[in-house]
Amino acid sequence: MSVIMAVRWEEERYTDGVKWKFLEHKGPVFAPPYEPLPSNVKFYYDGRPMKLSLEAEEVATFFAKMLDHEYTTKDVFRKNFFKDWRKEMTSEEKAKITDLNKCDFSEMNEYFKAQSEARKAMTKQEKQKIKEENERLLLEYGYCVMDNHRERIANFRIEPPGLFRGRGDHPKMGMLKRRIRPEDIIVNCSKDSEHPKPPPGTKWKEVRHDNKVTWLVSWTENIQGAIKYIMLNPSSRIKGEKDWQKYETARRLKKCVDSLRAQYREDWKSKEMRIRQRAVALYFIDKLALRAGNEKEEGETADTVGCCSLRVEHLNLYPEKDGQEYVVEFDFLGKDSIRYYNKVPVEKRVFKNLQLFMENKQPEDDLFDRLNTTILNKHLQELMDGLTAKVFRTYNASITLQQQLKELTSAEENVSAKILSYNRANRAVAILCNHQRAPPKTFEKSMQNLQTKIDAKKEQLADAKRELKIRKYLPGGKEQLMKLEVQATDREENKQIALGTSKLNYLDPRISVAWCKKWGIPVEKIYNKTQREKFAWAIDMADEDFEF
DNA sequence: GCTTGGACTTGCCCTCAGTACC
DNA sequence: GGTACTGAGGGCAAGTCCAAGC
């Protein structure tokens, strides 16, 4: 590590939860006020035009903007929306508008579509003006001073009002997410800083000076009653240091994971049910990189589970399947309602335990009825300081990347082939962590385009050969062709897999940096600008023989 | 002990700006 | 100069984990 950066990353380590000594910022940027519809754009009820009050009109526009989305046809969405919309209506409106099916938002919808077209068709100068305004806003509100550093803020804009969507089958979809006003805002900054000023004629809910937290601004959202925060960018000292710490914890797990595994295997035989359950759950978390699985309040969110909250209905046991013994089939919705489907052969003891846990239970009963995340994490804490369920995900992701890179990279490959290998290693991790994505809408098209390019290049090479200009044109051309073909392979393999999440959250960046240095790959090929900023600590720290 | 609230990380999707291409 | 395409970044929901409050 260089001396200068050692200072940057190691300065001012506070104790007892103190996160900073000085914090100054300009507060949040509020959503722009509602702009009423022009009088020629009408809402129709039961076929007749109807002028809405400003409040009711605003909420109606939220719905009108979404008309093309499938979810506006869903019962739950419509019911929730209508209920909340009615709350914004005057008593006259309420009396008249009693059936959402009689509401016609299509003219409003057309208007917004036209507006968005108009925005696209703006002249260069107009676009430039908007860009400059955004830059000005960023400069004024996008930075803060935390201790001795000017730091970028991650999200300085307050979320605008709209209709809540949620992910998966969310019981609250369609509800009104209300507008946040200065009176809802808690500002956090240091006493000796220049406090942010609320917009003229308004007041903050509170100005606080809590240096044991990292947030600058908070408010409570009305859908779940959860607190939302404005915090610093991942490039900031405070986030970087935390990130580094996270990977150091995972590396400590590496040192004791063998004995820990031996321990939970022993526990599969325990006399106590709770210990067996704990041990099997931990095995899943370790082997399959499952999330912890906190309990959730029923009816408040989509029905999703993690390891500790698995239910009997989420797995099938096969003493034998496809020529393998003791196969467990998992099928459940995890975080963000992403499906986890996997068939895994497990050890006989695990299998027998699972049979035991499922005995005399209904499909909707908890698989691990003597376990929850609190119990599990308490246990883990006793095994290693700072150990929690999610450390296993970080550890297994990072160690997998390191192993895969070792296995897949060959010295004689060129740079683009090496990058393909890197992406494949990254992909192995994404698959382990079940990081999926919807195939991009333009996927087929973009594959086609690439194929066209490849064909053209082949043609070009063939021409060159025919004209006996081999020596002159072939070497570079061949290289280019290979690059395109590698790119096509990479893209195809990536169709339904998202690499970003693991890259950003699970893979110790020092592994990647070390790999780049070892093979002479510019780090820019692996990390874009933002990622390099986020991982500045690692880029500076890791040399080519860094070992996770 | 249990519940709830709070802080912070993780996660997917969409938009939009920058760039390649014609 | 216009259009098409793509990657980056923003947006914000949904997790994890811990500790305060009862």
Strand B–CB A501 distance below 7 A: yes
The residue behind tokens 């299509």 is A106
Residues 6+ apart with CB under 8 A from A462: none
pLDDT digits 0-9 by tens, A110-145: 999 888 888 887 777 778 888 888 888 999 999 999
Task: Name the residues in A369-388 having a C-beta closer than 7 Å to nucleic acid strand B.
Answer: 374
C-beta neighbour count of A225 within 10 angstroms: 8
- Name the nt closest to A154 by C-alpha to C1': C10
Q: Which residue is nearest to nucleotide B11 (CA to C1')?
A: A501
The residue behind tokens 């959730």 is A296
- Name the nt closest to A301 by C-alpha to C1': C14
| Residue-wise DSSP of A278-334 | HHHHHHHHHHH---------TTTS-----STT-BGGGEEEEEEETTEEEEEEEEEE-
- Name the nt closest to A188 by C-alpha to C1': B7
Predicted pLDDT of residue A3:
40
- Name the nt closest to A225 by C-alpha to C1': B5
- Active site positions of A, annotated: 506
Q: Which residue is nearest to nucleotide B14 (CA to C1')?
A: A440
- H-only helix segments in A89-174: 91-96, 106-120, 124-141
- Name the nt closest to A302 by C-alpha to C1': C14
Residue A513 burial (10 A CB sphere; 0-12, 13-18, 19+): buried
Name the band, by pLDDT with cuts 50, 70 and 90, for residue A190: very high
Strand B–CB A242 distance below 7 A: yes
Q: Which of A278, A432, A426, A276 is nearest to A356 (CA)?
A: A276
Strand B–CB A95 distance below 7 A: no
Q: Which nucleotides of B are covered by protein (CB under 7 A)?
A: 3, 5-14, 17-18
| Residue-wise DSSP of A252-281 | HHHHHHHHHHHHHHHHTT-SSHHHHHHHHH
Q: Which residue is nearest to nucleotide C12 (CA to C1')?
A: A159
C1’ C10 / CA A257, Å? 38
Q: Is the dihedral of CA A2, A247, A296, A378 positive or negative?
A: negative
C1’ B9 / CA A9, Å? 21
The residue behind tokens 């050890």 is A347
Strand B–CB A336 distance below 7 A: yes
Say which DSSP state A69 is in. S
Mean model confidence pLDDT for chain A: 90
In the predicted model, is pLDDT for residue A377 greater than 50?
A: yes
Q: Model pTM?
A: 0.91
| Range name among A149-158, A203-212, A471-480 with the lowest pLDDT average | A471-480
In the predicted model, is pLDDT for residue A174 greater than 80?
A: yes
Residues 6+ apart with CB under 8 A from A212: A17, A18, A19
C1’ C9 / CA A530, Å? 9
Which token pair is A80? 């929730």
Strands A206-208 and A186-188: parallel
Which token pair is A86? 């009615």
C1’ B8 / CA A219, Å? 15
Q: Which nucleotides of C are covered by protein (CB under 7 A)?
A: 2, 5-18
pLDDT digits 0-9 by tens, A381-433: 999 999 999 999 999 999 999 999 999 999 998 888 899 899 999 999 999 99
C-beta neighbour count of A134 within 10 angstroms: 11
Q: Are A304 and A372 in contact (CB under 8 A)?
A: no
C1’ C19 / CA A521, Å? 45
Q: What is the C-alpha end-to-end distance of chain A, expressed in Å?
A: 16
In the predicted model, is pLDDT for residue A54 greater than 50?
A: yes
In the predicted model, is pLDDT for residue A4 greater than 50?
A: no
C1’ C20 / CA A213, Å? 15
Q: Is A520 left (phi over 0), alpha (psi -120 to 50) or beta?
A: left
C1’ C8 / CA A100, Å? 39
Q: Which residue is nearest to nucleotide B17 (CA to C1')?
A: A131
**Which carries the bigger pLDDT value, residue A462 or residue A185?**
A185
pLDDT digits 0-9 by tens, A245-289: 999 999 999 999 999 999 999 999 999 999 999 999 999 999 999
- Name the nt closest to A498 by C-alpha to C1': B12
